[in-house]
Structure 1
Amino acid sequence: MKLEIEYNNRARVPGHPAIIAEWMRDAAAFREAHPPEVIAYGPGERERIDLFVPKHVRGAALFFHGGYWQALDRSSASHCAAGLFEHGIAVGVPSYDLCPNVPLARIVEQAEAAAQAMHARMGLPMVVSGHSAGGHLTAALMARLPAEVVAAGVPVSGLFWLEPLVETSLNKALGLDAAEARALSPALLPSPGRPLHCAVGGAESGEFLRQSRAFAELWGGTWEALPGLDHFTVLSPLPQADHPLTMRVARLAWQACGAVSII
């Protein structure tokens, strides 16, 4: 099935277990070097944010992990805060419940609660970003929350039209029908008219490239395909403070709170 081939990234990248293991090591090392403040945004065990606050705060960001809404947690993504942290950006990295334990609509609600809790803690408009499923949550929050909470979005290898997933094996845990998939597709919601930059790996499937390109065009944003990077290595720029993608997110965070860029 063509859509299965296009959207099943673990099958497309046989080396993904080693990459995820590297994420876990790098994330643990970053947490050890910079122990996070833990914020509860709900009563559930996974309704927690690891907040990394630099000494001199110049902006705020929220980063959602991926895993097709059915795998991983915040402990896999701490290192994605490292580059922004060096630029004075306070970064929250939330966990959320997973399908099939909860429906996808509930995860979107949790993402909203996490964003509101982060905003209450920092008092700053933030840039929201996230990988894969987290890219979907990024766009959903842009559509649902006001600019004083979510000022800009940078989804990385995001999913913006969910209906193609309905006929794939990925939907076994999600349990979406066509109507639910459309209702939860950010691309079918009105554009909030805020800064949007979609990043995707240049070595990803045609469908992932199409979704990022088409969504950016639909919402009046920008997009880029990062050369040679697949659906897993696409996160490799974010721990690097001097990578152009990290610098772009930092500038958006500075602009959102009126700080002046030093780059």
Structure 2
Amino acid sequence: MTSILADEANWPRDRLDRDYSARGTVTAERFEAEMRRYRSLSDAMREPWATHLDVVYDEESGQTLDIFGTAPGGLRPAFMFIHGGYWRLLSKRDSAFMAGALAKHGIASVAVDYRLAPEATLAEMVREMRAAVAFLWKNG
């Protein structure tokens, strides 16, 4: 019996592209409609809950994060959200949708940007996420 990954190594490029991209699973119209809905949910959270926007967490890459639902003079637990997008799309701008629900329970939320493929490798993306965690720990 071979592993699934070994089998996938022999798949044609078009099948891999389809299987590893959400865009390949629905029509372009449906995908864009869902992305608009996703973005509108996040946009609705920015005004009432954003406390610190575009904070540089990694000097090397210049990447930033947005912080929502903090309380002046106090520490809160924080939920760091690393957006999806198959390493190729979306951003922190699309990732504030949970801010209000978490803030109402005393939890801050942090939406983190990172460079996307093909500009960055997966190793670089992981390094940036480690930098984001270190930044939040240091600046808690």
Q: Under a length normalisation based on structure 1, what TM-score does the superposition of the two structures give?
A: 0.42
Could you tell me which residue of structure 1 aligns to residue 43 of structure 2?
Answer: 28
Could you tell me which residue of structure 2 aligns to residue 114 of structure 1?
Answer: 132
In the alignment, does 2:120 pair up with 1:102?
A: yes
- How far 1:6 sits from its partner (Å)? 3.5
SS at match of 2:97: helix
The answer to which structure, 1 or 2, has the higher relative contact order (CA under 8 A, 6+ apart) is 2
SS at match of 1:62: strand
Q: Which has the larger radius of gyration?
A: 2
Paired residue type of 1:60: A
Q: Is the 8 A contact 1:57 1:88 kept in 2?
A: no
Distance 2:139 2:40 in 1: 28
- How far 1:59 sits from its partner (Å)? 1.6
- Equivalent position to 1:51, from 64, 67, 71: 67
Instruction: Extract unaligned runs of 5+ from structure 1.
Output: 123-263
Distance 1:75 1:121 in 2: 22
User: How many residues of Structure 1 are paired with residues of Structure 2 in the alignment?
Assistant: 121
Instruction: Extract unaligned runs of 5+ from structure 2.
Output: 1-11
Q: Is the 8 A contact 1:42 1:48 kept in 2?
A: yes
Distance 1:92 1:5 in 2: 31
- How far 1:109 sits from its partner (Å)? 0.1
Could you tell me which residue of structure 1 aligns to residue 98 of structure 2?
Answer: 80
- Equivalent position to 1:37, from 37, 42, 52: 52
Structure 1 residues 225-254: Cα deviation after superposition (integer angstroms, max 9, x where no partner): xxxxxxxxxxxxxxxxxxxxxxxxxxxxxx
Distance 2:121 2:20 in 1: 20
Structure 1 residues 94-144: Cα deviation after superposition (integer angstroms, max 9, x where no partner): 10111111211101000000011112222xxxxxxxxxxxxxxxxxxxxxx
- How far 1:11 sits from its partner (Å)? 1.7
Distance 2:19 2:122 in 1: 21
SS at match of 2:109: strand
Distance 1:108 1:17 in 2: 28
Paired residue type of 1:7: Y
Give the alignment's Cα RMSD to 1 decimal: 2.0
- Once the two structures are overlaid, the 10-residue window that deviates more, 104-113 or 76-85, is 76-85
- Once the two structures are overlaid, the 10-residue window that deviates more, 60-69 or 81-90, is 81-90
Could you tell me which residue of structure 1 aligns to residue 5 of structure 2?
Answer: none
- How far 1:17 sits from its partner (Å)? 0.8
In the alignment, does 2:81 pair up with 1:66?
A: no
Could you tell me which residue of structure 1 aligns to residue 8 of structure 2?
Answer: none
Q: Under a length normalisation based on structure 2, what TM-score does the superposition of the two structures give?
A: 0.75
Cα distance 1:105–1:9, how it changes in 2: closer, same or farther (>3 A)?
same
Identity %: 28
- How far 1:57 sits from its partner (Å)? 5.3
